[in-house]
Chains A and B, each alone.
Chain A
Amino acid sequence: MFILTEMKNVTRILPENFNMKLNDAIVRELNKKLANKVVLNVGLCIALFDITSLKESFIIPGDGASHTIVNFRYIVFRPFMEEILVGKIRSCNENGVHVTLGFFDDILIPPNALQHPSKFNETEQAWVWEYDTGDGGKHDLFMDIGDCLRFRVTAESFTETCPPGPSGLQEEDSTTTTNKIPYNLTGSINEPGLGILSWWDN
């Protein structure tokens, strides 16, 4: 679920940080720039892994800061397709089951990827797997908030999110852009062994 991504950046170090060692200052800048951010088609950045090379630093006329070309590797959360992960249920609604890993929340299991047959219980606000006991009866298995569940990653999608434009210019636009989710995963639990962990305990 975690990978290493090699990246290259021109890192700008402000004069006020010249008292720090160059490496430390760069590590700080890179983490400030990337930690907890989604990079398009790469994944959710977690933390700097290491710096692989540092080129000579240079200055640009009219700017007191130093600029350094740096090659580095970053730890990125990006599960591969078909990977099996364990998460917790964050919420349930008609659109499916929302799953969280704690550090990553945008995982949705749509209704057609739940165990069959499942239905949404309006009063409990939870999805229920109507497990067929084999003797004509059925056993309701609830999916409650906070339950641990095992799921398979089936799809991912990245959405470009631009920084909001100047305030006041596009009022109605800004409300739509803030709702965009940059990195979305889709999961499924419609196979034996997937779903709430306790379903398969014995």
Chain B
Amino acid sequence: MEIVNSNSASLSNYEVLKHLQKIKESKIKHGGQLATITYETLHYLEEAQCKNQTAESIAACIKDLEPFNLNKSEKLMLVNTPPTTALEIQLMIEESEDRLTEEQVQQILNILVQHFPHIAPAKQDDNQEEEEEEENSD
């Protein structure tokens, strides 16, 4: 066996989820290791945010993120694990303090909530004190 190109493309969690679901649903009988890894990976992905995403919502979201000058892996992280707070943006985007203004960070958060509305409610279950907490921007 020969490795032609060890990293020819990055895949989003959503794409992997769809592909594995297709394998699982196909009629062909799979045994052994493929069944194990498909089951375990699906289990992980189904708990993650990507189960409520669609190809269209991701494409639209990436398009809206264009003006912020983010690199590919940063955008990939924003889609795979959509942040809901400015703190999380700071983690995912290198030197975000220099590259983005506070206003832009808020814009990114709004874009993510707008395209992936399912990420918002999870944060609001318990005590929300003085923190900003945008009121269910629909």
| Distance to closest chain A CB from B9 (angstroms) | 4
CB-CB under 8 A from B129, the residues of chain A are: 202
Per-residue interface assignment for chain B, residues 14 to 25, with 1 indicating a CB less than 8 Å from any chain A CB and 0 otherwise: 011001100100
| Distance to closest chain B CB from A111 (angstroms) | 21
CB-CB under 8 A from A1, the residues of chain B are: 13, 80
Contact of B28 among A24, A85, A202 (CB under 8 A): A24
Is B10 located at the chain interface by the 8 A CB criterion?
Answer: yes
Interface segment out of the listed A31-39, A163-171, A178-186? A31-39
**CB contact under 8 A between A202 and B127, given known A36-B36, A42-B3, A103-B44:** yes
Is B55 located at the chain interface by the 8 A CB criterion?
Answer: no
Is A16 located at the chain interface by the 8 A CB criterion?
Answer: no
Is A58 located at the chain interface by the 8 A CB criterion?
Answer: no
B20 x A47 contact (CB < 8 A): yes
B32 x A32 contact (CB < 8 A): yes
A36 to B73 alpha-carbon distance, docked (Å):
25
Q: Which residues in chain B, 78-136, are within 8 Å of chain A measured between CB atoms?
A: 80-81, 85, 87-88, 90-92, 94, 123, 126-129, 131
Is A201 located at the chain interface by the 8 A CB criterion?
Answer: yes
**CB contact under 8 A between A193 and B87, given known A5-B7, A46-B41:** yes
What is the total of A-B residue contacts with beta carbons within 8 Å?
A: 122
| Distance to closest chain A CB from B120 (angstroms) | 14
Is B138 located at the chain interface by the 8 A CB criterion?
Answer: no
B20 x A9 contact (CB < 8 A): no
**CB contact under 8 A between A193 and B91, given known A3-B11, A47-B38, A103-B37:** yes
B7 x A202 contact (CB < 8 A): no
Contact of B90 among A31, A35, A193 (CB under 8 A): A193
CB-CB under 8 A from A140, the residues of chain B are: none
Q: Which residues in chain A, 1-42, are within 8 Å of chain B measured between CB atoms?
A: 1-9, 24, 28, 31-33, 35-37, 39, 41-42
Q: Which residues in chain B, 28-53, are within 8 Å of chain A measured between CB atoms?
A: 28, 30, 32-34, 36-38, 40-41, 43-44, 48
- Total contacting residues, chain B, CB less than 8 A: 48
CB-CB under 8 A from B131, the residues of chain A are: 202
Task: Across the interface, name the chain B residue whose C-beta is closest to A105.
Answer: B40
B87 x A4 contact (CB < 8 A): no
A2 x B33 contact (CB < 8 A): no
A73 x B8 contact (CB < 8 A): yes
| 22 A/B residue pairs, CB under 8 Å, sorted by A | A1-B13, A2-B11, A2-B13, A4-B7, A6-B8, A7-B3, A28-B28, A31-B33, A35-B37, A36-B33, A39-B3, A46-B37, A47-B37, A47-B38, A75-B16, A82-B94, A84-B77, A102-B43, A103-B40, A103-B41, A103-B43, A150-B81
